[in-house]
Amino acid sequence: MKKHNFSAGPSILPDSVIKQAAAAVLNFDNMDLSLVEVSHRSPQFDAVIKKAQKLVLELAGLENKGYEVLFLGGGASLQFLMTAFNLLPEDGKAGYLDTGTWSTKSIKEANILGEAVVLATSKDKGYNYIPKGYAIPSDLAYVHVTSNNTIFGTQIMDFPKVNVPLVVDMSSDIFCKELDFSKFDLIYAGAQKNIGASGTTLVIVKSDILGKTGRTIPTMMNYETHIKKDSLFHTPSVFSIYVSMLYLQWVKDLGGVAEMEKINNKKADLLYAEIDRNPNFIGFAAKEDRSIMNVTFTLTDESKKDKFEKLAQEAGIHAFKGHRSVGGYRASIYNAMPIESVQALVDVMKAV
């Protein structure tokens, strides 16, 4: 029995993507070479990265709108600093919405290069909600938000309206639902949660916001470096980019982001309905801010913990314990998660 993988990341991949990637590791594009030994400058890999970039723009509805697509290293953690290097003048200020661990880390990195103004925070209630109705100063270089908070299970439903570049970390919910992606000037997302395998980070950036800080930017930290070299300034993670290309094609073949949203809503509704129905469980996140990607909940009676976890293990439920800062349980139901796995968890919850 294949386990039901609720891991928060690296996370579940579609079966078809795993099979295609595995085949390519043995023999890529009928070259009689493994994918992991093919040059990143070969015409075969060039076709892969160009297809991946095209799929990103197509799924986001950003074709011919002045956006560049990059596949970089360093994870979203590097983007915390890279964003500030490219958008924050030396004497400038940027606005940050503090909604959890990852936004806190992005604030720390921005403060190395300038002033990160915390527009609002939900720390007062353990990050179980998304702040609303906060003021946005007029003197900011950009505004940064984290769209989905993996650890705490909250998700932004309405993004702030701003007159400066809007930057968003979408690592754990990119392409999970329809959005007007053109409202964002810079999007970044570690691939390993919702669009691929670990080892590459997607960056979608509107080119006309770059080169305006007056700052000397280290070569590797400069988005324009990577745009000029089409993500090939240095050797990228060939395998990870290939997996992302397969994953993005899988989303397109399903019917695109609109169809993906319908499937994700069904999964989330099924699980949240059981949490709300079952007196043995209580959700962590405020209901109006519940994530459709990371469902966080706890037992109301800790004496049932052993029984619940034993039943889950027997059912093949894998990696659903909550983050150590929250406790309880976290079911990450990313794009690739089949509804049958969510049903398996619900059945276990009913049996507690």
Give the C-alpha separation, 341 to 346, whole Å: 9
Describe the strand order of the beta sheet including 281-283 as a list of residue ranges. Answer: 281-283, 294-299, 329-332
Give the active site residue among 98, 102, 173, 185. Answer: 102
Active site residue 305: no
Across the chain, which distance is largest between two alpha carbons, in Å? 61
Active site residue 250: no
Report which secondary-structure segment, H or E, holds 276: helix 256-277
Active site residue 193: yes
Q: What is the rounded (10 degree) CA torsion for 304, 5, 258, 151?
A: 60
Token readout for 287 is 């209901």
350 and 274 Cβ atoms separated by less than 8 Å:
yes
What's the Cα-to-Cα distance from 41 to each of 45, 149, 221, rounded to whole Å? 7, 36, 21
Give the active site residue among 193, 206, 250, 289. Answer: 193
State the residue for tokens 């579940």: 12
Phi–psi pair at 117, nearest 5 degrees: -90, 120
What residues are annotated to the active site?
102, 169, 193
